[in-house]
Chain A
């Protein structure tokens, strides 16, 4: 194609699935930047922000009460010493995984459709990990001493205990957060630069100028940038697998029936991706319609993500099946067998069967193209999956703990209002951060979109 006639060709290229090609570099960029540069906050965002802000208030109230009186305000007890705190921790961490997966793994696999959702998903990752991070810190009996879990030089000459899965968590989660943040920020730099150059006011130019660190798109810079972006993606890929594997070791390393099982790492990772994609869709579907980004997030994206959910969902179901099989048949261990029977028919049976329904049965609808392309239905399914994945952690933690080896110590667990406040509080926090992100940070990777646009319009000769 001749360099002299790009404008002419523009109208005649037919629309591909991943992007509306009526866009030029300018229109695409402006469409992204306008959300940030224009003065008025869109009404849906404003409303959402308001609600979330109230929930954040609730969260801080709960935390204050918690730190001032003790975790006795929760329902935790003997034998169920972990409950909502760890359930929510694992749930949030799981949700985070989709972001890294989309931005890193799909990047390595050169999946074009990732381009218009990766920024969004990465942001989700970071905020989800923030929510997750609150729990391990606040659930301990003496939160003000939680920093003792870090290996730092201290006058007490005391050090952490590296055989504990909780120590592994500390490293895994903090590393995961750091790398995700770097990856996200790296991706943002060129877009902040273009934001800077489109800024109408000096203040916004100053802010974006500082954040973009003087990026000017020099060929030399792009060269290094490309390499480390690829490397970060390469690093994040094993990381995303490792994080949830290590989280699953919290349980697998313990010897409690229902926890002590070697299939947890893969089964947790699959579950994480499952819930992560569900959450991305739960958020993306409203966003694309409210902000009119249907031409960036097309049906093609929804379809692809639905398929990923279907696949991971099947893996997760396989996990449940194996878990039951090993416990009841294969292990021949009476304690294991009792645990599984107790899950299925004990006092918490409802949670187990709800879990099977939410994660196993309902998502099978995704086999049908019509369901995948019918956005409202799809949205409902994603919400159901999120509930299911929460229940999975509830089943694993509570039903295993409440009846273990000594019948004398068996007990029941029920959450208190503070457990629930804390949970919806973190949901509010997550939503609030998402709103800030949508309003003030380019929610699409502009430079990657432009690159994609270029690739689509002028296939390499």
Chain B
């Protein structure tokens, strides 16, 4: 910092705020350009001179400052991700997951077990670290909620770590401040309060034992203090339902692998909820046809098209408010004492389902969705009880959430207190209520009445902007902590990297509140577990095991014996209303808005709609037609006096006279990526009607373009996706290949290449198992450094995803069957792309992989034209961000970052294959995928193991068996491409009594 500022007197001084303002204006690549301009300007140097001394103090407290750190922080202090290129290994001892050498071998990644928390619940993960630089997150096979899978949120969390928009300094009234200042301020603010009266803490769902213990400690120290909780997507209804049914807030753990019949009452258990990955795995284990195994059957009552409904053997698409009435009818059918609601006109369906349920007592599951009222949950519990599923397919465990409360009530209570002026100090941990609090709370106005509002979060978000203090939080890969999974299993969260931007964890915040500001996360967490485990001297070795395994044994919630009370349903329900109905759903991509600034999630095609970069309002084709609304038209939705405008999207299978409203859009302070995407549905979401709201929908004159990655929804009579009922399949097992005009092996004038020797790679995608969650898409993006191209480029059809999940509708548009088909490079043995490349930039390897040679590609795009599967992706521009340093850190060092003008596509994760091959070669043997633990990124991420990769020459390999199955077929093999990636046809297991009814999906006539 010795160089003298070359600032000219004519230039006015640049202030921190001004600089941030300048940067905030800029967008995307443009932003970085302007950043460099800024950084090179004389005014910048001058300002650094001014700002630095303050930072120097801030630094010196928490570690000895050397020049590199100094420069690093100098950058951080200015919201310059641009300058924080250098990172450090954490000092404390953390333990590799595998028995890898303690010291890092350059080029060899290490994996550490930790846990990602989503909606407050933990998902065990293994974080891949290259030279102390986390680059990817995989599922932890030993963790009950993951079993090795990792959904889109888990995958994308790595990008959040390196997000240049993360808040990079503690701010007091908008100016960077030190931790000590905060400690002083909070102490000064709390001491005058008698017993902490007026001290309120707002957190999201908390399952962390340590954090809960800390808060309890605070509540002991300040008996009058209050702890509020609010997650916009919460389990309130489940909680209240459990109270109704059992009198206590128990959690439920389902065993779908034991269930022969599953009835979902508007529950999207395959893609939502703390246990969804585990549930999907278990469910599919039973729902895929296997010899000598009884295939389970899924009935789904859904108020909005969801992934569970897409898998259903029978789907009933009804308005959300009807579900309760159907549930009552079912309950009554099972002989429970409940008042019947109005008739819904589905009696035949209901009775058929009842018969099926009764046939499978003890191996059925009735599950209610989080957006259904408490009564439906209670009824579900009662039905499970009546079918005596308890203890078999359904287990009650003590609540996983610490001191569970009703979030809506809790936030309401807080805002009332704030409005009344009785809140003196408000500490908000991670929450962003200004954006997502129920509209009727008027949270923002109420917050203005709070003398000291402290916000702790990853981003300088909507709430942070109007708070007095903003404390930069640590990302879970930067902090020590713990978290519990859906079944209660606890995991220690261990950091892989020193906080990039000098953030502090919630544990450290609370510790500071307790007056011990110097304590670090590790001490805090260890202290709790020392006590909890009372292992004494053995603790250290135990601790090491916990860290290594990623789970703390026997922390799963203990099974509760409880019997459902009766009588809760005896009161008659509200009659069916014909009012227009809005169903609030978390967005499949940005969830409740938390992930709005995550490019991977924004660009991930939302399952079923394939919409990117926006949250939309879904309407049924009938409703849309009746109101003359087309996809992309802007509609105005009004709930009570509140209104918001949203882009409509017409979705086949949506119930009529209702609309699904996705949350998570319309952020104003999410960051450069998230701002201005979608619309803010919280504006009309109230604490009384958080999930199902009645209101009015009116069309406006304006329209926007809603961008999707798939414009055509019909299979157009082509046999690309093959599906049949179990019966038909048993009648004619050869049915699948019957479609192939020229048989399985069309003749060619060329002898063809000999692939009979060595490893020959292939992939099988099991259409029975695929639930279309898009975990594979994001996993691939993370593994292969696939760039984000932005809404406009996607609109032009230039998305870069190497694997995509195609979605087709068949049958009746009112209640269509949904076909979900992952498509990636087929690695055809006779690849049409190869022969047309004039420079041999794409050729075939001896192990049967269709390779892309980036350096050789000149970009004629002929290969893409000649690819029947259209899986090739072209860099029309320099899509990869070569400029943002923090994003460079995230990249997988084993994969080339493609530049402008070259073609790219799926490589079967050739970098992983190479690692395995090298290992195998050393021992002079062929690769064995099981022995070498070789998996492609998509395969590893898949919650349902729908993707199987392996050596087709190895008869022991799973893939060999699958390819031999009668269900196996290749797409477009009549072109004699001889694809290495093949599919397993889908088998449905409909109830013979209902077959033919509209609820049974037919195979694909055009919609």
Residues of A within 8 A of B (CB): 69-72, 75-82, 139-142, 145-146, 148-149, 158-161, 163-167, 170, 250, 253-256, 334, 338, 401, 404-412
Given contacts A405-B972, A406-B869, contact A78 B902 (CB under 8 A): no
Q: Are A142 and B823 in contact (CB under 8 A)?
A: no
- A71 and B836 within 8 A (CB): no
B875/A141 in contact, CB under 8 A: yes
B836–A166 CB distance below 8 A: yes
CA distance A167 to B839 in the complex (A): 8
Residues of B within 8 A of A145 (CB): 858
| CA A170 to CA B839, docked complex, whole Å | 12
Cross-chain contact A140 with B869 (CB below 8 angstroms): no
Cβ B720 vs Cβ A141 within 8 A: no
Evaluate contact between A406 and B823: CB separation under 8 angstroms.
Answer: yes
Verify if B94 is at the interface (C-beta below 8 Å from A): no
Which of B797, B798, B823 has the most A CB atoms < 10 Å from its CB? B797
Binary interface encoding of chain B residues 79-92 relative to chain A, with 1 for a CB under 8 A from any of its CBs, else 0: 00000000000000
Q: Are B856 and A158 in contact (CB under 8 A)?
A: yes
Q: Which 5 A-B pairs have the closest CB atoms?
A: A141-B859, A141-B901, A72-B876, A409-B870, A408-B806
B793 partner residues in chain A, CB cutoff 8 A:
72
Q: Are A164 and B836 in contact (CB under 8 A)?
A: yes
Which residues of B are found within 8 Å of A410, using beta-carbon distances?
711-712
* B798 x A255 contact (CB < 8 A): no
Contacts of B343 in A (CB 8 A): none
Smallest distance from the beta carbon of A148 to chain B beta carbons, Å? 5
Chain B residues whose CB sits within 8 angstroms of the CB of A146 once the complex forms: 858
Query: Which residues on the B side are within 8 Å of A254 (C-beta)?
Result: 832, 836, 862, 865-866
Chain B 802-821: CB-based contact to A (< 8 A → 1; otherwise 0) = 00101110000000000001
Report whether A149 and B711 are in contact in the complex, using a CB–CB cutoff of 8 Å.
no
With most chain A CB atoms within 10 A of its CB, the pick from B717, B861, B875, B902 is B861
A164 to B861, CA, bound (A): 12
Nearest A-chain residue to B878, judged by Cβ: A70
Beta-carbon contact of A149 and B718 below 8 Å: no
On whether the beta carbons of B806 and A140 are closer than 8 Å, the reply is: no
Could you count the A-B residue pairs with CB atoms below 8 Å apart for me: how many are there? 157
**A256 CA to B833 CA in the complex, in Å?**
11
What's the Cα separation between A76 and B797 when bound, in Å? 9
Cβ contacts under 8 Å, A78 to chain B? 797-799, 864, 870, 872-874
With the chains together, A256 CA to B863 CA distance in Å?
Answer: 11
Q: Is the CB–CB distance between A72 and B862 below 8 Å?
A: no
Q: How far is the CA of A412 from the CA of B711 in the complex (A)?
A: 9
Are A69 and B874 closer than 8 Å at their CB atoms?
Answer: no
Bound-complex Cα distance A160 to B836 (A) = 11
Q: What's the interface size class on B, roughly?
A: 35 or more
How far is it, in angstroms, between the C-alpha of A78 and the C-alpha of B709 when the chains are bound?
11
Nearest B residue to A79 by beta-carbon distance? B870
Docked complex Cα distance between A397 and B154 (Å): 42
Q: Which residues of A contact B712 (CB under 8 A)?
A: 407-408, 410
Q: Which residues of B contact A71 (CB under 8 A)?
A: 859, 876, 901
Given A81-B865, A408-B712: A164 touches B835 (CB 8 Å cut-off): yes
Q: Does B840 lie within 8 Å of A142, measured CB to CB?
A: no
Rounded to whole angstroms, the CA-CA distance of A163 and B799 in the bound complex is 30
Please tell me if B576 contacts chain A, counting CB pairs below 8 Å: no
**Nearest-CB distance from A264 to chain B (Å)?**
15
- The verdict on A334 contacting B718 (CB below 8 Å), with A76-B876, A170-B838, A404-B868 known, is yes
Tell me if B902 and A142 are in contact (CB < 8 A): yes
CB neighbours (8 Å) of A76 from chain B are 861, 876
Can you list 27 A-B pairs, Cβ within 8 angstroms, ordered by A? Answer: A69-B877, A70-B875, A71-B901, A75-B796, A78-B873, A78-B874, A79-B870, A80-B797, A81-B865, A141-B860, A148-B856, A149-B839, A149-B858, A158-B839, A160-B840, A161-B835, A161-B840, A164-B835, A166-B836, A166-B860, A170-B838, A254-B836, A255-B866, A338-B716, A407-B713, A408-B804, A410-B712
Q: Which of A167, A256, A334, A408 has the most CB of B within 10 A?
A: A408
Which residues of the other chain, A, contact B870 by a CB distance below 8 angstroms? 78-79, 404-406, 409
Can you name 13 extra interface pairs (CB under 8 A) apart from A142-B857, A166-B862, A256-B868?
Answer: A71-B859, A72-B793, A78-B799, A78-B864, A81-B864, A82-B865, A141-B875, A161-B835, A164-B836, A170-B838, A256-B866, A401-B865, A410-B711
Give CA–CA (A140, B835) in the complex, Å: 17
| CB-based nearest A residue for B861 | A81
A146 to B, closest residue via Cβ: B858
Cβ contact of B901, chosen from A70, A170, A250, A253, cutoff 8 A: A70
B975 at the interface (CB under 8 A from A): yes
Task: State how many angstroms separate the Cβ of B875 from the closest Cβ of chain A.
Answer: 7
- Residue B360 lies at the interface, judged by CB distance under 8 Å to chain A: no
In the complex, what's the smallest C-beta–C-beta distance from A441 to chain B, in angstroms? 35
Q: With A and B bound together, what is the CA distance between A115 and B457 in angstroms?
A: 85
Q: Is the CB of A160 within 8 A of B972?
A: no
From B710, B713, B798, A77 is in contact (CB under 8 Å) with B798
Nearest residue (CB) in B for A74 is B876
The 0/1 profile, CB within 8 Å of A marked 1, for residues 689-728 of chain B is: 0000000000000000000001111111110100000000
- By the criterion CB–CB under 8 Å, are A166 and B838 in contact? yes
- Between A81, A164, A404, the greatest number of chain B beta carbons within 10 A of the residue's beta carbon is seen for A81
Q: Give Cα A79 to B862, complex, Å.
A: 11
Which of B798, B823, B872 sits near A72, CB closer than 8 Å?
B798
Residues on A with beta carbons closer than 8 Å to the beta carbon of B837 = 161, 164, 166
Which residues in A have their C-beta under 8 angstroms from that of B877?
Answer: 69-70, 72
Is the Cβ of A79 less than 8 Å from the Cβ of B859?
A: no
* A148 to B799 CA separation, bound complex (whole angstroms): 28
The smallest beta-carbon distance between B982 and chain A, in angstroms, is: 16
Q: Is B900 an interface residue (CB 8 A)?
A: yes
Best-buried of A141, A410, A411 by chain B (most CB within 10 Å):
A141
Bound state CA distance, A365 and B797, in angstroms? 43
Which of chain B's residues have a CB closer than 8 A to the CB of A72? 793, 798, 876-877
A79 CA to B712 CA in the complex, in Å?
13
A250 to B837, CA, bound (A): 11
* Contact pick for A141, options B804, B857, B868, B972, CB 8 Å: B857
Given known A-B contacts A82-B861, A163-B835, A408 and B873 have beta carbons under 8 A apart: no
Q: Are the C-beta atoms of A411 and B711 separated by less than 8 Å? A: yes
A460 to B836, CA, bound (A): 56
Report the separation of the CA atoms of residues A145 and B713 in the bound assembly, to the nearest whole angstrom: 39
Docked CA distance A165–B798 (Å): 25
Cβ contacts B891-903/A at 8 Å (1 or 0 each) = 0000000001111
In the bound complex, how far is the Cα of B797 from the Cα of A80, in angstroms? Answer: 9
Q: Are A140 and B865 in contact (CB under 8 A)?
A: no
- Complex-state Cα separation, A412 to B836, whole angstroms: 24
**Which A residues are CB-close (under 8 A) to B807?**
408
* Interface core residue of B823, B836, B864, B865 (most chain A CB under 10 Å): B865
User: Which residues of the partner chain A approach B714 to less than 8 Å between Cβ atoms?
Assistant: 407
CB nearest to A158 among chain B residues: B856
Instruction: Flag if A255 contacts B862 (CB, 8 Å).
Output: no
Q: Are A164 and B873 interface neighbours, CB within 8 A?
A: no
Residues in A neighbouring B840, C-beta threshold 8 A: 158-161
Q: How far is the CA of A407 from the CA of B869 in the complex (A)?
A: 10
- CA gap between A165 and B874 in the complex, in Å: 20
Chain B: CB-nearest residue to A85: B861
| Contacts A78-B864, A79-B864, A141-B902 given; does A407 touch B715 at CB 8 Å | yes
Q: Are B823 and A408 in contact (CB under 8 A)?
A: yes
**A148 to B835 alpha-carbon distance, docked (Å):** 16
Assembled-state Cα–Cα distance A409/B903 (Å): 17
A81 to B903 CA separation, bound complex (whole angstroms): 11
